[in-house]
Structure 1
Amino acid sequence: MDRGVWLLVGCLVLAGCMATGPGADGSPNATAATTMVDTSAANTGVDMGSSAKTANSGLRATVTHVVDGDTLDVRYPNGTTDTVRLRGVDTPEVHVPTNPSEFEGVPDSDAGAACLGDAGDEASTFTTRAVAGETVRLVEIDGRGRYDRLLAFVRHDGHRLNYRLVATGHARVYDDQFEGRERFSRAEARARRNGTALWLCANEPSATPTGSDDRPLTIAAIAADAPGNDNANLDEETVTLENSGSAPIALDGWTVRDEADHTYSFPSDATLAAGASLTLHTGRGTDTDTDRYWGATSAVWNNDGDTVVVANASGAVVARRSYG
């Protein structure tokens, strides 16, 4: 039996070792015993020598699969595998419903839950684009949670993925203590104030933005059901965006997409003037300041219901509107 297992057995025997409380991985009733991590080669695939060394130097690993926005499957250099739960952050769920009460300001309603479901998918997409298939370093490891997931911060390309999720509005700061929490909290406050990504869900009553100088871009209108056969009348299947702010919005790199991830990308010269509106037509035509053309060969928007999602050049969702 290796040292990590002996430590766990010893903890279970000692009186008082099983005091319970919220788990650092976001699960309820995690035990004190689960916060220990075996850093031996048998458990992690890397012989780090001690917990302190692991926490300071980190573990190198390749991300093999993104489970959801805050959970990753990884492979260590010797081929062994592990599951990592990002410390300090919590993204909306993907595989089970999210409780809106966990995200401050999100209405405890079907609309709020549905909005968080979409936001969970978007967080997973963000994490997938950021680290899927990439080599990362797991740092500041804090043992294992209730589901035996390694609790860690993930560093990639000089940044902590955990912080990027919060700063882009894809995650809330989780209710535990860690170094640098204040910076995370400030980033969350900015994302909430700007209604970025999941924080769009905090808008009553329909969980869509209302429009202000802080959140100037809105989805003003959706014409999903064009007259006659949609596929024969693509120019009249439209989405209209409106800038209610006092400054123009440069749309270079911004995207519009549906629930099936059909995506239109604005060209580099696209700008939405202050107080102006812009209509995106599904079909083909000549682009102007007020009309843009997707160039699709078939209808995009479902007549019986869909969701329009607008994201900025960094991938953060700035507007979302469902219909049907």
Structure 2
Amino acid sequence: MRREIEIALVLCLCCALAGCATHGTSGTDTASAIGETPVANANASDATGANANDPAAFETTLNATVVDVADGDTVDVRLANGTEETVRMVGVDTPEVWVENAPGEFRGVPNTSAGRDCLREWGHHASDYTAARLAGANVTLAFDSDTDRRGYYGRLLAYVYVNGTNHDAALVERGLARVYDSGFSREPAFRRAAAAAYANRTGLWSCAANASADGTTGSTGSGTSGESATMGDGTSATGSTATTGEANGDSASSGTGLVVARVHADAEGSDGKNLNDEYVVLHNAGTDPLALDGARVSDAAGHTYAFPNGTSIASDASLTLHTGAGTDDERDRYWDAGGPVWNNGGDTVTVRAADGTILARETYD
């Protein structure tokens, strides 16, 4: 009898170590099947846009690598376990590039061939911007508890964070996407960013004809896309809340198509000894070459680099500005700053034309 009791105790101990449970499969258990990471103590204030550039504010996140960009709001990713998934970004809808656009889904855009052509052009800009920022990047997918985990087509529905910044929000602020008419935790902040973009005729909202600055004129069709999720959180590519005025003078708002595609502030090893691994990548998402004669790049502290005459970026091309010294060519420029410029803990990249007009701006943490 004593031996039977000992055997029973051993079996109970083995069961406990193996993680046996008497309850059914929970949402967290299901999430773990694709390698998701539950995050404790999610910040409730995030629903209003606070901590927008902190994916840990969500209950569940997932690390992945982007392997393909389908369009502005849809990417294919490879998860840590090797499986591949298609991700539809929560809260946003960029204009279509593969099928016909419905102008009625975009406030103030006329239902004409010109309106549809304009939307398609900005759909390509949105795709280019997403490709420049996300292609091949390691990202964090954050799942909103107010939306379904998957859409009608089986795609994951998530906010996509790259280098700690909310890409969904960046699309809205730059006027590269509209906000879905559906409920998600970041919707109020996303709508504030969309209103600012619309008022300034940023990005695709330049397609709006005869619409008043406050958006009271023009159609307001809700539009659907077969997804149960929505997107929006009014943050910049770094998650800062959008405002009117100069803060919206970034990237697409200038009408040039210039975007700050990447900021690599933390060089490998010692920043001071590896200045050329500290750099900023500028991308021309426009359809024409972009001249940067006399344009200036500056940080929040006022350190400034001026592009020499003859500098330009071809359409759908990028130019990298390294902090250190080197030989300039059409793809790389060298600041020769003598020391690090971009703060590892956060900074603002501003690109101004020679006349002071803001061509692009990016804040990162």
Question: Shorter-chain TM-score category?
Answer: 0.5 to 0.7
2:173 aligned residue (167, 177, 202): 167
Q: 1:265 aligns with which of 279, 288, 291?
A: 291
Q: How many angstroms does 1:182 deviate by?
A: 1.2
Judge conservation of contact 2:151–2:157 (CA < 8 Å) in 1. Answer: yes
User: Which secondary structure does the structure 2 equivalent of 1:314 belong to?
Assistant: strand
1:92 deviates by: 0.4
| Aligned pairs (5 A) from 1:116-265 | 116-141=119-144, 142-204=148-210, 257-258=286-287, 263-265=289-291
- Relative contact order (C-alpha < 8 Å, sep 6+): which is higher? 2
Q: Give the C-alpha shift of residue 186 in structure 1.
A: 0.7
C-alpha separation in 2, matches of 1:48 and 1:104: 38
Q: Aligned equivalents of 1:172 and 1:57: distance in 2?
A: 25
Contact in 1 for aligned 2:91/2:168 (Cα 8 Å): yes
Contact 1:254 / 1:313 at 8 angstroms: preserved in 2?
Answer: no
AA partner of residue 168 (structure 2): N
1:275 corresponds to which residue? none
Task: Give the equivalent residue in structure 1 for 2:10.
Answer: none
Q: CA deviation at 1:257?
A: 4.7
Q: Aligned partners of 1:136, 1:255: CA distance in 2, in Å? A: 23
Indicate how the Cα distance of structure 1 residues 254 and 123 shifts in structure 2: closer, same or farther if over 3 A, else same.
closer
Is 1:66 matched up with 2:58?
no
1:107 is matched with which residue? 110
Seq. identity, %: 38
Matches within 5 A, 1:274-293: none
Number of residues of Structure 1 aligned to a counterpart in Structure 2: 204
| Alignment gaps of 5+ in structure 2 | 1-23, 43-55, 212-244, 257-281, 297-308, 315-352
Amino acid across the alignment from 1:182: P
Cα RMSD after superposing both structures? 4.1
Within-5 A mapping of 1:26-45: 38-41=30-33, 44=34
Distance 1:294 1:48 in 2: 44
Q: What's the TM-score once normalised by structure 1's chain length?
A: 0.53
- Whether 1:91 and 2:97 are equivalent positions in the alignment is no
CA distance in structure 2 between the aligned counterparts of 1:218 and 1:125, rounded to whole angstroms: 15
User: Partner residue of 2:223?
Assistant: none
Q: 150-159 or 63-72: which moved more? A: 150-159
- Change in CA separation of 1:265 and 1:294 when aligned onto 2, cut-off 3 Å: closer
Where does residue 273 of structure 2 map in the other structure? Answer: none
For residue 195 of structure 2, give the secondary structure of its aligned residue in structure 1.
Answer: helix
Q: TM-score, with normalisation over the residues of structure 2?
A: 0.48
| C-alpha distance in 1 between matches for 2:165 and 2:255 | 31
Letter in 1 for 2:196: R
Alpha carbons 1:254, 1:266 under 8 Å: kept: no
Gaps of 5+ in 1: 1-5, 8-36, 206-212, 220-252, 271-286, 297-309, 317-324
CA distance in 1, matches of 2:92, 2:69: 15
CA distance in 2, matches of 1:161, 1:75: 18
Structure 1 position 128, deviation (Å): 1.0
CA deviations over 1:149-200 (Å, ceiling 9, x no partner)? 0011111222211111101110111111111211111100110111111001
Deviation at 1:48, TM superposition (A): 4.7
Deviation at 1:38, TM superposition (A): 4.7
What secondary structure does 2:154 align onto?
Answer: coil
Q: What CA deviation, in whole Å up to 9, does each residue of 1:83-132 have, x standing for no partner?
A: 00011111101111110000010001100000000010000111111111
